[in-house]
A and B are shown apart, each in its own frame.
Chain A
Amino acid sequence: MRIETVWVGRGGQGIVTATYIIANASIIDGFHAIANPEFGAERRGAPVKAFLTISKEPIEDQEPVKTPHVAVVFDDKLLGAMQFVIDAVKPGGYVILNTGKSPQDAAALVGRDDVNIVVIDAIAIARKHLKLDVPNGPLAGAFSKVMGFPSLQSIREAFETQLGKAVEENFAAVKEAYEVAAVIPAKKVDASAKPKGIISTTSAFLTGPYEVVGWREVNKAGAVFPGSSFPYATGGWRIDKPVIDHSKCIMCRKCWLYCPDDAIIEAWVEREGPRGRKFRMKMIDFDYQYCKGCGVCAEVCPTGAIQMVREI
């Protein structure tokens, strides 16, 4: 038995830790495991991936995981950009998805009926037990449930050795996820079928497809020509989005001043005055293409006009 898995999520969601925990717990259970995170120059919120292989036999080969048995997806908004990860899952394999959506809606998002889909609202569970948006513990719990290993007891021990803190809270989150994870079984599995794609084993997949060119064609000295960050719609990194109640907003623009992503905009809107006259006036709005959902605006707003609303 040899299970290959890929874990995709965002910087700060504990993807690497999750693979370490499961690897550690599997080793406690007598398996062999290697967790290979793929490190890059990631920032909080940027897509990251990590690989984990578990086997009954010692693993000497660090083969890249190209067509995993299991994909664990930490953010349902990654499904679009990282469809190739879903495509690469072996028929009959598992997609474990963190989402607040209903199992049916989530399954529709995954868009495959030849894999088992596991749906878990790991954010809600993490918030409940840890008061943090780190869905890795609950996803580890969901993994343990559907795979049948590692044991919950070993996961607890792994938390002790890997984290050494907040063990009880994390373990409570793992246990709850273990109990509530919903499994939608695959409808039809053609075990002989090949996966639709493979995972590129370089970090290029963080930035999407790229043209592979030889060293003679690469820009001299690796010079990068413009170029700007406009195409990187960092709005996809959000867990919560800011929503404004204009009746409370006094246009003090404190939110605009503090937004680290320049995602607060003043939009002109037309409003009808008391006696039917039309006015053009300014209102606060958000540029959801780039708002990363940090919540600073809601924090600084003196009138409480901004609320953060769960998005995944």
Chain B
Amino acid sequence: MSAQLIREKEKIIKQKRIALTGNHAVALAVKMARAEVIAAYPITPQTPVVEKLAEYVNNGELDAEYIPVEAEHSAMSAVIGASAMGARTFTETSSQGLGHMYENLPIAVGMRLPIIMGMAVRTYSAPINVWGDYSDVMSMRELGWIIYITQNAQEAFDTIIQAYRVAEDSRVHLPAVVAYDGFWTSHVLQPLDVPEDEEEVIRFAPITRSWVKLDLDNPAQLGAVGTPEWYWEIRWQAVEALRGSTKVIEEVDNEFGRRFGRRYGLVSPYMLDDAEIAIVTYGSVYGLVKKAVNKLRSEGVRAGALRLRVIRPWPGDLIAKYLGNVDKIMVIDRTINHGGPLYGPMATEIATTVQRPVYNVLATIGMRAIDSDMIYEAAMKVYRGLWAPGVPYTVGLRGGYE
């Protein structure tokens, strides 16, 4: 007799709609995920996250250790230490703050600690510019962190919760960063659906404590010397864990979708089925891109778009699948890869993935605003063959560069 598997169809949990800025949405997600140790230093544009979390801890809404460190290097050190003790940790940074903690970023990876970091992205000095572009998060691509780039406050909120579940999965055990646009998401008030019963979040992402940690009953030394005959093997475990995390990220996203009613995928495609031109980008400007695609479509141009949501691990197969049959791929990069083969990091990676030249456009540098018309015009230039692939073009740079 075959056993009949009866699975209760998972119901989408009850939620209420509130309005929060991206930063406060992130802080709320961290609170609901019950971070146990938070160490962060305020830096524009993430400051409200740090302030909000301090407030939660201070008024007893969140039972966490809040460590007011003197700088980001210490913030990362503190969460590494706390995570190595088995605590669920959170930190947040931007721009120069990331630069200051940089030394410790690969340590979190090598020690396989599931630290979650938020990032309200901001460009690097000089000149001093506290506004949003993707220079910071793009500069940590090679270190082994899982990197999410989200589009709005809702997605940042949801992704923080997903990230805890992914990072603490015993198949992964890696730190993850959840990035979102400085100001355009961090400071913009948006509608946000949050579970009525906060417990749903911890139910979805229970603290596993399954990672390699310090334990009095089973003493060990973490982060020890890795001589040449050991280092590579240990590091390769992290390389493989990151590669394998693709599957876990998808699983977690799917289950989140079933329970919360929202899922995002590793990439978000838009009208790509028959597209002859595709616009690829990341972060909040994706909304403008979709609008530009609509306008192109209305004029008979078969346009589509693709948003990169998870850039580490690199979802190469998916990207190749979605972009494989598109004639012209235009990538809008939001940071400059100074002197690189193309001038944008994602354009370079897309070009190697699809193995053909891409049209590279730089925009929003130092948070220079763009609108959907500018994107439309750039796409039209590509479409009409006025722009060549493999050459950097700019949208919004005075004096232009073509």
| A in complex with B | yes
Q: Which residues of A contact B (CB under 8 A)?
A: 40-41, 202-204, 210, 212-216, 218-227
B112 is an interface residue with CB less than 8 A from chain A: yes
Q: How far is the CA of A219 from the CA of B223 in the complex (A)?
A: 12
Q: Is the CB of B110 within 8 A of A221?
A: yes
Q: In the complex, which residues of chain A have a beta carbon less than 8 angstroms from the beta carbon of B59? A: none
Question: How many chain B residues have a CB neighbour from A under 8 Å?
Answer: 25
Q: How far is the CA of A213 from the CA of B224 in the complex (A)?
A: 18
Q: In the complex, which residues of chain B have a beta carbon less than 8 angstroms from the beta carbon of A226? A: 219-220
**Chain B 62-87 near chain A by CB (<8 Å), digits 1 or 0:** 00000000000000000000000000
Q: In the complex, which residues of chain B have a beta carbon less than 8 angstroms from the beta carbon of A215? A: 232-234, 236-237, 240
Query: Which residue of chain A has the shortest Cβ distance to B234 in the bound complex?
Result: A222
Query: Which residue of chain B has the shortest Cβ distance to A226 in the bound complex?
Result: B219
Query: Which residue of chain A has the shortest Cβ distance to B227 in the bound complex?
Result: A203
Least CB distance from B290 to A in Å reads 41
Q: Is the CB of B229 within 8 A of A221?
A: no
Q: How far is the CA of A214 from the CA of B230 in the complex (A)?
A: 9
Q: In the complex, which residues of chain A have a beta carbon less than 8 angstroms from the beta carbon of B225? A: 41
- 3 smallest CB-CB distances across A and B, nearest first, come from A215-B233, A222-B234, A221-B112
15 A-B pairs (CB sep. < 8 Å)? A203-B227, A212-B229, A213-B233, A215-B236, A218-B233, A219-B234, A220-B112, A220-B173, A220-B237, A221-B112, A221-B234, A222-B110, A223-B212, A224-B224, A226-B219
Least CB distance from A46 to B in Å reads 12
Query: Which residue of chain B has the shortest Cβ distance to A207 in the bound complex?
Result: B227
Least CB distance from A76 to B in Å reads 26
Q: In the complex, which residues of chain B have a beta carbon less than 8 angstroms from the beta carbon of A225? A: 218-221
Contact among A40, A202, A216, A224 with B220 in the assembled complex (CB-CB below 8 Å): A224
Q: In the complex, which residues of chain A have a beta carbon less than 8 angstroms from the beta carbon of B224? A: 222-224
Known: A222-B234, A223-B222. A40 touches B212 (CB 8 A): no
> Given contacts A214-B233, A222-B224, A226-B219, could you give 13 more A-B pairs where the C-beta distance is less than 8 Å?
A40-B227, A41-B227, A202-B229, A203-B228, A204-B229, A215-B232, A215-B236, A218-B230, A221-B173, A222-B223, A222-B230, A223-B220, A223-B222
Q: In the complex, which residues of chain A have a beta carbon less than 8 angstroms from the beta carbon of B223? A: 222
Q: Is the CB of B111 within 8 A of A221?
A: yes
Q: In the complex, which residues of chain A have a beta carbon less than 8 angstroms from the beta carbon of B173? A: 220-221
Contact among B218, B232, B236, B237 with A221 in the assembled complex (CB-CB below 8 Å): B237
